[in-house]
Amino acid sequence: MTRPDYDPLTAVWNWLASLAGILTDPGSPFWWPTLIAAVVGFAIAAALAGGNWRAARAEALPCASARFWRQLPVDLSFMVVNSAIPFLAAPVLLIVSAMGATIGYLLMLPIFGAPETGTRIEAAAAMALAGFIAFAAGDFALYWSHRLFHRFPLLWRAHRLHHAPEFLTPITAFRFWPQEQVVHIIGAVFMSGLGMGLVATMLGASVGPLTLLGVNVFSLVWNLAFSHLRHSHVALAFPRWLSHILVSPQMHQVHHSADPRHHDRNYATVFALWDWMFGSLYIPDPKERFRFGLGEAEAAPAAQGAPAGAAPAAH
């Protein structure tokens, strides 16, 4: 798709330039403070486990196996390829976001009326609300698109690539076939746009999300909140009450467990609230550890026809 303000060659160049700034761009998932946060999270997990640093390091870095080193280039390749999608599909994503915002506007129009044309709210509270609603709505979309890829056999055939590794690293988070990644991104962008449309219509004026260093402040905070440890062997648990709201690294490790009793659990990316609401929440014991990979069955129970919420399945 070509538009007057969209040049595919420029998009490719911007994508390549983004790879050069992978450690320095605050919008990058590997922005250097997020790596420091991961090290801090490891230190916290080791301290909670009794301060045995040698044992904690051995558990966190199980890289002696040749299978780990065979997996790493595959994960890196998918990360690089999938990082191009937001740049190359920018016009489509813009249209999808606008569609979501339009639907949000139409839903709120009978209640709040039409916003004033040309007005914009710059109040920090309104921008924080817009940023949070957009962030939470996108996460809600990711919960359901993720769950669908477990539920239906055809979709699972693609998604099983993400669950194949027996060793989890932060780069494993990007191990998806591009067609699946497109589905997740489109769903999140649509719902984020819808959230922005809802907020703008309720407040009666255009409002942008609150940003820090050019990034939605809630996305930035989440990236700094030990997000890299979700795909790792560092079993950092949150307090039980918080685990009903936010996904801890250990909770997402449950999702990658090869144990059938963990299948169809903990689909959420950020807010464990979705799992809690829709019956897929599993809060492990802080001492629980997991074996990762597809397991002997080589298929998710949901893909074999079990109901999506049936116990004891998990993702």
pLDDT tens for each residue of 25-42: 999 999 999 999 999 999
Tell me whether strands 215-216 and 211-212 are parallel, antiparallel or unpaired: antiparallel
How far CA 206 is from CA of 129, 198, 209, 218, 265, in Å, comes to: 13, 10, 10, 19, 38
Q: What ranges make up the beta strands (E) of the chain?
A: 120-121, 206-207, 211-212, 215-216
**pLDDT tens readout for residues 271-310:** 999 999 999 999 999 889 889 998 764 544 443 433 333 3
How far CA 126 is from CA of 115, 121, 133, 202, 272, in Å, comes to: 14, 7, 11, 11, 25
Cα separation, 198 vs 130, in Å, equals: 9
Amino acid at site 46: A
1 vs 160: which has the higher pLDDT: 160
Place of tokens 């007005």: 119
The whole-chain average pLDDT of the chain stands at 89
Find out whether 241 and 47 touch, Cβ atoms under 8 Å: no
Closest-CA residue to 121 (of 201, 215, 194): 201
Amino acid at site 289: R
pLDDT tier, 4 (very low <50, low <70, confident <90, very high otherwise):
low
- Exposure string (b/e) for 170-200, b if CB count within 10 Å is 16 or more? bbbbbbbbeebbbbbbbbbbbbbbbbbbbbb
Cα separation, 271 vs 252, in Å, equals: 11
